[in-house]
A and B are shown apart, each in its own frame.
Chain A
Amino acid sequence: MDKLTSEADLAAMIRGANGALKIRGGGTRDVGAPVVGDLVSTRGLSGVTLYEPGALTLVVKAGTALDEVETLLAGEGQRLAFEPMDHRVLLGTEGVSTIGGMVAANASGPRRIQGGAARDFTLGARFVDGAGRVIKNGGRVMKNVTGYDLVKLMAGSWGTLGVLTEVSLKVQARPETQATLVAEGLDPERAVASLSAALGSPFDVTGAAHEIGGRTMVRIEGLRGAVEYRTGALATGALAGFDRLEADESAALWAEVRDVACLSDRAGAVWRVSVKPTDGPRLLATLGARVQGGLMDWGGGLLWLLMREGGDAGAKVLRTTLAEFGGHATLMRASAETRARVAVFQPEPPGVAALSRALKQKFDPRGILNPGLMGS
């Protein structure tokens, strides 16, 4: 099913389908319970529909390569503000990441803490739902409250509600420069205290992360003078004792954080956990030696945790703890066998689970789009 080149063909194909479909962009984000079904690739739906740098707007078909889009934007001195993670590094997948896959995964990197997630920068979407209906929602303008916001619902729905065919994105001008303040050897609690202080300052921090057992880092971006001033103010205030990395080194460091490169060649299950930042150190304390390494991003609120893959890969202890703290844990990397056995996505409380199930039923009445990927 790699030959689909139009939305109309895709819709016809879905209408005519008589069994489960495995929806795929570039196949680089192999996340969720394994799906058995006929492969549907969106790679043939490719191309930039509209790019207006002066309006910070990009409309692009879902199968377009993310690399291609990033190159196009860089040519105009712009970028995707939410810094989408390249999952190939952590998951060891190959292939070409697509824009549709990025939105379907709500893939958002370090700058999410300041600017927002992929869901915040997706202005509009076209998709084909499980009944084969072509649906559009939102648009290409930055402010739009016309009807319900299905775009947010589609972002992070991993192809279980519909197959994205085109999205509109708000893009951002690249800042003139960046710098990072970095310190070694802080324990998680002290690290998060530093990150909270930096994020609670008026200095517009765009990255705040801590490698478990390693560096603690805070990024500033903007006009040259502003970066100079803000890093100076932080280094003599909330982040006294931190060293400064200049632009190139800083950029390289944050690419590693974005892609969780530190866990790339270490074997084991990798969890992605979202909690409120000060619960990050508490969670680590509870898990103790079960955590074999990892990273805290988003000021401490996003944890990437390496755990032993045997048994339930740590699901029970993690989720029991999160029931108390609030937040959620997703098993982002594990073998297909483990992902078939362990709930990959956080089980929801009954009221919310009932809503999610009922929505899935409306969007995909036959249950054919990536069935089971996000759980039952």
Chain B
Amino acid sequence: MQMPVPSPDVLGKKDRIVALLRGVLPEDAVIEHEIELKAYECDALSAYRCPPLCAVLPDSTEAVAAVMRICHAEGVPVVPRGAGTSLAGGALPTADSVILGVARLTEVLETDYDNRFIRVQSGRTNLAVTGAVEADGFFYAPDPSSQLACAIAGNIAMNSGGAHCLKYGVTTNNLMGVTLVMADGEVVEIGGAHLDAGGLDLLGLVCGSEGQLGVVTEATLRILAKPEGARPVLIGFDANEVAGACVSDIIKTGIVPVAIEFMDRPCIEATEAFTGAGYPVCEALLIIEVEGSEAEIKDQLSRIIEIAGRHNPVEVRESASAEESALIWLGRKSAFGAMGQKGDYICLDGTIPVSALPHVLTRIAELTESYGLGVGNVFHAGDGNMHPLIIYDANRPGDLAKAEALGADILTLCVEVGGCLTGEHGVGIEKRDLMTKQYTPDDLEVQMQVKDVFDPSWILNPAKVFPLEASKIRRGM
């Protein structure tokens, strides 16, 4: 993965830039020491690292605006950073960039149960948003796996999903408004506590724009009343395609499970060895969770089990207690960790039409074998969002490149069957150079023109999302 050559001009005036930033921020909010900058040299795509020019941690919208005014005037690239959990390199710095972290923006600004929203500063973690309202029976629905650590700012930047978006949608479906600091430091309010836009839907455009259109400092989020209860059932099958067909049948009936998770044999075996959750060792298993009152849960589960019965399951395990539910989820939630025991891994995020599942799983197995690597599949089956985990050995020369090449082949396959490169992790640097697989030059040009509108000098996270070659002139290269 290439990154642009840093600007010698910016590198040469580092002291001046740091002095200007110190002029508008408190002493401890400007980080320039080599050791302290280690924390900002990568995100969760940790194979790629680069220390930034410096990092700043403003604690208000006004302070963020002041930082942006300086960087804009000086022509310094700014890489916004939530909690640094991006799996796509969304917060990876370049040597000539300022990391703008929102970690000190963590306050709840307003909670309104009558109107069912919460307004928070964007550095607050996803789970802490739910934490602020759950005692009153509410929750914030999008639940990325990193929700304990990840910030709302990053969720908005990447339009994050989660296991439960089958029923509740992703970030963009739960975001009502933002305070956005523009590249030149101007502050605009988009949306609010009301629904939908009165003019063009700029909120929909900002959500998922990977920190390239502005820095979100505050967000108004939809909160929902917690369901009375939830319970999973675990169903094992003797073939991937049978499990896939079962998913399709369930969705068609009108039952809306909150989650349908899928694991294949390599993943089941790894998790069993790791957690001993007591999973049946079979070709594929589904974990399906439903919500509601006790009677509603029973009703939905019995219908699901009846449908599954037509697909000759090798095992059906309906949870009978909170402990059993926890055990069913334990394996799924430990799956990434368990696969990590087998080696280093790359986690892909391609999404495919649910109907293409069996074909794609077969092709992934074939491709993986041809590369001489290992892969495990664990993913959100209800919405076709796959997460193949490619196992490689970081200490073996050439292995990472091989794994990345396999990843690119798998993502290309996802696009070929009518899907997309990324369902919830974002493009970042990871899928930047594959964008031409999904989009024509005109498709990309019009997206870059949108960035031109918000950030005419391309200082916000400029080396991301678009192939470097395509964005070269705009980045002044």
Contact = CB atoms under 8 A, between A and B. Distances in A.
Q: Specify whether A and B are partners.
A: yes
Contacts of B380: 143
A242 interface: no
B420 A139 contact: yes
A358 B165 CA distance: 33
B298 to A, nearest CB: 9
Contacts of A229: 293, 295-296
Contact of A223 (B228, B299, B354): B299
Interface stretch (A34-42, A129-137, A286-294, A307-315): A129-137
B201 A156 contact: yes
Contact of B161 (A120, A143, A150, A176): A143
Contact of A143 (B186, B251, B303, B383): B383
A340 interface: no
Interface string A44-64: 000000001111110000000
B358 interface: no
B385 A146 contact: no
Given A276-B193, A327-B192, A145 B205 contact: no
Interface stretch (A23-31, A89-97, A245-253, A345-353): A345-353
A149 B450 CA distance: 10
Contacts of A155: 201, 204
Given A278-B115, A330-B198, A355-B202, A225 B296 contact: yes
B115 A196 contact: yes
Contacts of A355: 188, 202, 453-454
A214 to B, nearest CB: 22
Nearest to A114: B224
Contacts of B296: 222-223, 225-226, 229
A155 B421 CA distance: 23
Interface stretch (A2-10, A14-22, A198-206, A260-268): A198-206
Contact of A152 (B194, B204, B440): B204
Nearest to A154: B201
B130 to A, nearest CB: 15
A148 B353 contact: no
Given A144-B423, A274-B195, A276-B115, A55 B453 contact: no
B251 A173 contact: yes
A173 B166 CA distance: 13
Contacts of B443: 135-137, 147
Interface in B348-368: 351-355
Given A141-B383, A202-B227, A356 B202 contact: yes
A150 B213 CA distance: 13
A278 B115 CA distance: 7
A212 B296 CA distance: 34
A141 B423 contact: yes
Size category of the A interface is 35 or more
B292 to A, nearest CB: 6
B300 interface: yes
Contact of A153 (B187, B189, B205): B205
Given A52-B353, A144-B420, A349-B189, A277 B115 contact: yes
Contact of B208 (A134, A141, A145, A278): A145
B442 interface: yes
Interface string B244-260: 00001101111110000
A67 to B, nearest CB: 22
Interface in B197-215: 197-205, 207-209
Which among A140, A153, A276 has the greatest number of chain B C-beta atoms within 10 A?
A: A276
A158 B209 CA distance: 23
A223 B255 CA distance: 8
B188 to A, nearest CB: 4
Nearest to A365: B449
B384 interface: yes
Interface string B280-314: 00000000000011011001100100000000000
A139 B418 contact: yes
Contact of B435 (A56, A147, A326, A362): A147
A225 B299 contact: yes
A202 B136 CA distance: 12
Nearest to A327: B194
A143 B424 contact: yes
Contacts of A352: 188-190, 199, 202
Contacts, number: 271
Contacts of B300: 223
A228 B256 CA distance: 18
B332 interface: no
Nearest to B117: A276
Contacts of B383: 141-143
B194 A326 contact: yes
Interface residues of B, number: 96
Nearest to A129: B446
Contacts of A202: 137, 225-228
B471 interface: no
A200 B225 contact: yes
A142 B189 contact: no
Contacts of A222: 296
Contacts of B355: 52, 54-55
B418 A196 contact: no
B418 A141 contact: yes
Contacts of B435: 146-147
A56 B251 contact: yes
Given A142-B384, A157-B200, A351-B186, A148 B293 contact: no
Contacts of B116: 196, 199-200
Contacts of B169: 116, 120
A133 B200 contact: no
Nearest to A201: B225
B134 to A, nearest CB: 13
Contacts of B81: none
B45 to A, nearest CB: 15
Interface string A152-177: 11011100010000000000011110
A301 interface: yes
B422 interface: yes
B172 interface: yes
Contacts of B46: none
Interface string B399-426: 0000000000000000000111111111
Given A146-B438, A202-B227, A275 B194 contact: yes
A213 interface: no
B427 interface: yes
Nearest to B453: A358
B231 interface: no
Contacts of A134: 442
A362 B194 contact: no
Given A139-B419, A141-B420, A226-B292, A133 B446 contact: yes
Nearest to A137: B443
B465 interface: yes
A322 to B, nearest CB: 9
12 contacts: A55-B248, A55-B353, A117-B195, A119-B204, A129-B446, A143-B170, A199-B116, A225-B295, A327-B194, A351-B182, A355-B454, A360-B200
Given A52-B354, A145-B425, 6 more contacts: A142-B351, A148-B208, A153-B201, A225-B295, A278-B115, A374-B199
Q: Nearest 5 A-B pairs (CB), nearest first?
A: A152-B204, A328-B198, A173-B254, A54-B248, A143-B423
